[in-house]
Amino acid sequence: MTNQLFDAYITAPAMREIFSDRGRLQGMLDFEAALARAEAAAGLVPHSAVAAIEAACHAERYDVGALANAIATAGNSAIPLVKALGKVIASGVPEAERYVHLGATSQDAMDTGLVLQLRAALELIEADLGKLADTLSRQALQYADTPLVGRTWLQHATPVTLGMKLAGVLGALTRHRQRLQELRPRLLVLQFGGASGSLAALGSKAMPVAEALAEQLKLSLPEQPWHTQRDRLVEFASVLGLVAGSLGKFGRDVSLLMQTEAGELFEPSAPGKGGSSTMPHKRNPVGAAVLIGAATRVPGLVSTMLAAMPQEHERSLGLWHAEWETLPDICCLVSGALRQAQVIADGMEVDAVRMRRNLDLTQGLVLAEAVSIVLAQRLGRDRAHHLLEQCCQRAVAEQRHLRAVLGDEPQVSAELSAEELDRLLDPAHYLGQARVWVARAVSEHQRFTA
């Protein structure tokens, strides 16, 4: 359940559900139920109390509005939740209430509950990244030899291929998937330290309870509690920032290729998609906008996570609080960008004819380098470069195709035949290693996925 007007556009519903109020409560309640089981196994809690505690650990039993009002006074969500949990248990099995939250502190419940949410979020992001990478791999292979003009500094450069551009995105996604896999064991760890991190309240039972609790929740037991050591969360946020940036680059390129002046590639069309309130002809890149928007917002949120790292002593004032909405927002924005990127990648409409026409917009100038490289072997680099520069200037001034100007230039025709010039000025013959780059990116993707 959400109250955000734009959620359907910028966030994946499954991710919003993970970080909904109910999702947050359930994460903490899962911690409390597992704590009771772990402490029963260590002999601190009677087994008869566990069932009553578990039965009360269901988020739907609690009034979110009442808890929200209580948080304003309590300062965090665990304090009023534990109180409410105790009341629910006491109403049914009064003797079990005394064993709720035994030896734990509020941050243990909140941080471990968050880690449980992040595990679900990580699984969702990894699945979406894998699906998107599969699609980009297929599309890169399909368009491996489809030439379009390369653009540097937003100006026409030399030819590339659409497959090569898509393979660039694919390569970045593969690296991000590797990063997420590598950080997983560092991120998915228990938080359990009690008041100041020493677990003194549990005495000699502290380590048996901690080990059992980690096992119950299928989390690793870290070397010590991390109440004010936030590098794990910040690492995850930072990698998601990288994901957002790569998706934003994809969205930026798609939006530029969709510009009327280019018209080379389009998001898939659908009734009502990308229209204007006043201009019936418009076809706006509404999916790319989400990717660019996420790439614009997420860096600031990652910065907040970094800024919140120097937390005071054993428990933080304010800096911990700054994380509460920040990391969920990062996850939600990235999930929304991934969903929109998948729509674009699945149904992209490619106008190869327009791509070829745009390659010819400068009347052969984008292939000047190809001619210059060959002439350099025969005339010397400086002389060849100067000669081609003059020919290009003449072609622009006279509004003629570079092929015609070169054909009329005695210094060029003395070195290159008409057939050689035709070949050198054919974009399909100046694609370099584009196909190799596609094959390598696809191979890396397949190797990681296997």
DSSP 45: S
**Which residue, 141, 138, 125, 135, is CA-closest to 176?**
125
Distances (CA, A) of 450 to 134, 168, 446: 12, 20, 6
276 catalytic? Reply is yes
37 catalytic? Reply is no
Distances (CA, A) of 367 to 149, 184, 371, 420: 10, 47, 7, 13
DSSP three-state, residue 148: strand
Which residues share a beta bridge with 161? 147
**Which residue, 59, 84, 86, is CA-closest to 69?**
84
Instruction: Show the DSSP H helices in 42-105 as ranges.
Output: 47-56, 64-74, 78-92
Pairing outcome for strands 265-266 and 147-152: unpaired
For residue 392, give both structure tokens.
Answer: 């290009």
Rounded to 10 degrees, what is the CA torsion of 152, 156, 161, 167?
Answer: 20
Distance (Å, whole) CA 48 – CA 264: 69
If you compute the radius of gyration of the chain from its CA atoms, what whole number of angstroms results? 30
Give me the count of residues in the chain: 450
Neighbours of 22 (CB within 10 A): 16
Neighbours of 51 (CB within 10 A): 12
Which residues share a beta bridge with 349? 266
DSSP three-state, residue 152: strand
Q: Provide DSSP, 343-406.
A: HHHHH-EE-HHHHHHHHTTTTTGGGHHHHHHHHHHHH-HHHHHHHHHHHHHHHHHHT--HHHHH
Q: Which of 22, 315, 394, 435 is catalytic?
A: 315
Distance (Å, whole) CA 132 – CA 136: 6
Q: Which of 48, 91, 276, 303 is catalytic?
A: 276
For residue 402, give both structure tokens.
Answer: 């570079």
For residue 156, give both structure tokens.
Answer: 């026409």
Pairing outcome for strands 349-350 and 265-266: antiparallel
Q: Do 379 and 413 touch, CB atoms closer than 8 A?
A: no
Distance (Å, whole) CA 394 – CA 402: 8
Positions marked catalytic: 276, 315
